[in-house]
A and B are shown apart, each in its own frame.
Chain A
Amino acid sequence: MNRCRWMLTSLLFISAWLAASAGALAAGPKPWQMNFQEAATPVMEDIISFHNLLLVIEILIVLFVLGLMLVIIIKFNSKANPVPSKTTHNTLLEVVWTVVPIAILMVIAVPSMKLLFFMDKAKNPEMTLKITGHQWFWTYQYPDNGDFEFDSNIVDEEDLPKGGKRLLEVDERVVLPVNTEIRLLMTSDDVIHNWAVPSFGVKMDTVPGRTNESWIKVTKTGTFYGQCSELCGVNHGFMPIRVDVVTKAEFAKWAAAAKVKYAGIQTPPKTAASATAKAIKVAQAAARMPGAHVLKR
């Protein structure tokens, strides 16, 4: 309860600040960015606040060591200190520099575990989104909203709409409702991919033969981007993720239309990006060794 209130307050602040600066959130990386992308889920907010704690501790450690080294350089160079001491032991000191790091680690471990168990699985999911990775595009399935599915491919550079983000825009976007606890189920039908959206704090491998689970509850409407985060072959860098988060009413409308639009449609897998990639696939297929077992794809 406390955590909820605390989160709500921080949310209020953030949303007030956002409202002042812009309307809906258009996430994604910014030029010369040095920090996380803006958080849009409780999980990502917790990641950022825990990382702030880590960052402070780590900067202090580095500055401490750097400070000691500066003192050593100034006081114990051969000019300033021609006769070296012969001290090689100090039990108290050795105990201190063993125990203090343990204490620091314990300070880190408690919030770390809290975050880990909080982010693990959805408690009361209201809907499910099923994500399947392919070389090199994503398939999204909405089992609770009419069980339609569609493929999402990268938009090539020459087809980019004005203002579109290169390497991040897709032809068919994922649309999801705001403030809804959504279970994500992920798998792959070829190699291992990884579905990641930085603003959501989600990053999960899609592994053939396994179904992995994660969850999101997006608290802001807007557009969010991600990229495949596990090396998956030639076009690994060219299978982006775009999620449009809309109000629940808008989502209901979209889902109804999508059910009709995508009903029974199985888009044939498209090879994205370059012609070189295609050439390689052909060359590889030609070089395929007899006797090697072949997946059905």
Chain B
Amino acid sequence: MSDTAHAGTDGGHDHSPTGWRRWAYSTNHKDIGTLYLAIAVIAAVVGGAMSAMIRLELTQPGIQFIEDFQFYNMLVTAHGFVMVFFVVMPALIGGFGNWFVPLMIGTPDMAFPRMNNVSFWLLAAALVLLVASTFIAGGVGTGWTVYPPLSNADFHPGMAVDFGILSLHLAGASSILGAINLITTILNMRAPGMTLHRMPLFVWAMLITAFLLLMAIPVLAGALTMLLTDRNFGTAFFSPEGGGDPIFWQHLFWFFGHPEVYIMVIPAFGVISHIISTFSKKPIFGYLGMAYAMSAIGFVGFIVWAHHMYTVGFNVETRSYFVIATMVIAVPTGVKIFSWLATMWGGSIDFKTPMLYAMGFIFLFVAGGVTGITLANAGVDQAFHDTYFVVAHFHYVLSVATVFAIYGGIYYWLGKMSGRQYSEVQGRWQFWITFIGVNVLFFPQHFLGMAGMPRRIPDYPDAYAGWNMVSSIGGLITMLGAFMFLWILYRTLTAGAPAEDNPWGEGATTLEWTVPSPAPFHTHEVLPDTSDLQAAE
């Protein structure tokens, strides 16, 4: 990133630190965004390696190479934690959020630049603690849901779970600080003329996500603290021997855990909206409906948590409420899907790599979304709960759809961030390899789940061999796509063609395309006047 001053900058603020100080002490939203993206890529390699080990172990029935089943459980757990807290959230919220919220709303930086720095380094410390936990006393073998009693001191006596708890505490503190920063920035620092109803949809998505974080993470923090004192100080919040209840943990965890899935996917909605509007060369269809559909999804996301707990022994009335509430989410989700289709309808679409990823996102999100309707129904969920059908469902909507938004977002904004443009041919190849890979990987898992294969087992009855082999082959193809992405990233950053300020043409209307590529160290030092922005009628 060069420090060349752009018009209106007199160099007054340009004596930025260099070398390691530039990154370690950074208070610049672009540099911190880059740090977040870098940690996401590093964590993705770690989490991806874990999933590769899981898939290799499951390629054939019998034990292949993981003879220590605690190690297998640790892999399953750590894969979940790493992907959720250290790949998807840092990439979408910390990475794209930091980079593009200030650029899009026309402000020089985030509201609290030093707090921004703290947010990032807390996350880095959290990642260190999590990785450390995998090497201690067999690691955390509880699943990412950390259900007691399995996670209490009787069944995980080593320090691994304590490390995991502290890691999540730090990651949570990082997220809360980040959320406060985003909310303050978005509510107070928009350029003149940019009313809430003229804000780009990505900024809307970040605002809603930040509120979800602010309300969900403290509940997780409370639950984790109780678990920590249960483990170390003799309290009994979650053990029946002392009057506690393991199901209490599940309520608290999922009260955080369900909003968490929207924390991951709503930023993806924002990215996809921009890509689709840009490459269709059309404004987004039903802008207000899109913004309020995201708000509605965020709100309803808080009152559906127990659909993760249909088999814990609830009375039937409780389950029937959660069935209805959960299905309601399909309505705003439908509004979003159809609005994207309507945005493309009548457009003049260039199928560049980000657009391929956006269309891939829509298809995969719909395919994963409809199985969500199946699982919402407590009746049939009794057949599907804890089977590979659930694994297939949430990997379609999270692993695949959300990661597609990350891939698409990086291709979309790489020119703006680095000043260099990726190769279109390579990008398209990488898309198709990944698209085929993930479908071969996850679609057969629906069949395994219907046939009854439970999740989180290191070995399975021989009848499940066929589809597991297919799934593992899909895993290899997906990995090939991931390696190719890393290579494209490397080639672009080292030898890519210089990017224009706006490489996408008339469809790219948001403010980040009005600044030079790469975006200079300080942007919008003279606030842009956005009163001529197309208002949302």
Contact = CB atoms under 8 A, between A and B. Distances in A.
A and B part of one assembly: yes
A130 interface: no
Interface string A159-201: 0000001111000000000000000000000111010101001
Interface string B225-256: 00000011010100111100111000000000
Given A109-B323, A274-B69, A203 B347 contact: no
A65 B366 contact: yes
Contacts of B345: 68, 72, 76
Given A76-B346, A295-B154, A102 B137 contact: no
Contact of B452 (A37, A93, A165): A37
A283 B282 CA distance: 63
Given A98-B331, A194-B311, A33 B447 contact: yes
Contact of A204 (B69, B236, B311, B341): B311
Contacts of A260: none
A81 interface: yes
A122 interface: no
Contact of A231 (B142, B154, B371, B537): B142
Contacts of A112: 323, 377-380
Given A36-B450, A236-B456, A284-B138, A166 B461 contact: yes
Given A166-B461, A289-B157, A291-B234, A47 B380 contact: yes
A204 B314 CA distance: 10
A82 B350 CA distance: 10
A21 interface: no
A77 to B, nearest CB: 5
B137 A198 contact: no
Interface stretch (A6-14, A113-121, A246-254): A113-121
Given A87-B285, A203-B383, A78 B348 contact: yes
A292 B342 contact: no
A127 to B, nearest CB: 21
B335 interface: yes
Contact of B141 (A34, A50, A69, A234): A234
Nearest to B142: A231
A17 interface: no
B425 interface: no
Contacts of B268: none
A263 interface: no
Nearest to B447: A34
A78 B355 CA distance: 13
B246 A208 contact: yes
B153 A58 contact: no
A274 to B, nearest CB: 7
Interface string A28-67: 1111111111000001101100110011011001100110
A54 B153 contact: no
Contacts of B284: 88
A1 to B, nearest CB: 22
Contact of B234 (A78, A208, A238, A293): A293
A207 interface: yes
A117 B377 CA distance: 12
A210 interface: yes
Nearest to A61: B370
Interface string B350-376: 110000000100110011001101100
Contact of B282 (A85, A192, A203, A292): A85
B320 A113 contact: yes
B103 to A, nearest CB: 23
A83 B374 CA distance: 41
A207 B349 CA distance: 55
Contact of A212 (B156, B158, B313, B341): B313
A233 interface: yes
Contacts of B157: 284-285, 287-289, 292
B373 A190 contact: no
Interface stretch (B122-130, B143-151, B413-421): B143-151
Contact of A88 (B149, B247, B283, B371): B283
Residue in B61, B327, B363 with the greatest tally of chain A CB atoms within 10 Å: B327
Interface in B278-325: 280-287, 289, 311-313, 316, 319-320, 323-324
A92 interface: no
Contacts of B451: 29-30, 33-37, 198
A191 B138 CA distance: 18
Contacts of B69: 234-237, 273-274, 276-277, 280
B501 interface: no
A205 interface: yes
B451 to A, nearest CB: 4
Contacts of B462: 31, 165-166
B70 A280 contact: yes
B338 interface: yes
Contact of B367 (A62, A98, A289, A293): A62
B150 A65 contact: no
A70 B240 CA distance: 56
Nearest to A66: B363
A90 B342 CA distance: 10
B323 A113 contact: yes
A212 B26 CA distance: 54
Contact of B155 (A30, A57, A72, A190): A190
Nearest to A68: B341
A81 B324 contact: no
B459 interface: yes
A244 interface: no
Interface string B376-401: 01111011011100000000000000
A220 B329 CA distance: 39
A112 B381 CA distance: 11
B197 to A, nearest CB: 13
Given A90-B342, A190-B155, A61 B537 contact: no
A236 B76 CA distance: 13
Given A165-B462, A167-B460, 9 more contacts: A57-B370, A62-B367, A65-B337, A68-B345, A78-B350, A82-B348, A203-B382, A280-B138, A284-B137
Closest CB pairs A-B (n = 8): A209-B240, A237-B457, A85-B346, A292-B153, A115-B379, A212-B313, A58-B370, A198-B452
Interface of A: 28-37, 43-44, 46-47, 50-51, 54-55, 57-58, 61-62, 65-66, 68-69, 72-73, 76-78, 81-90, 93-94, 97-98, 101-102, 105, 108-109, 112-113, 115-117, 119-121, 135, 165-168, 190-192, 194, 196, 198, 201-205, 207-210, 212-213, 225-238, 273-274, 276-277, 280, 283-285, 287-289, 291-295, 297
Interface of B: 61, 67-70, 73, 76, 137-138, 141-143, 147, 149-150, 153-159, 231-232, 234, 236, 239-242, 245-247, 280-287, 289, 311-313, 316, 319-320, 323-324, 327-328, 330-331, 334-335, 337-339, 341-342, 344-351, 359, 362-363, 366-367, 370-371, 373-374, 377-380, 382-383, 385-387, 447, 450-467, 507, 537
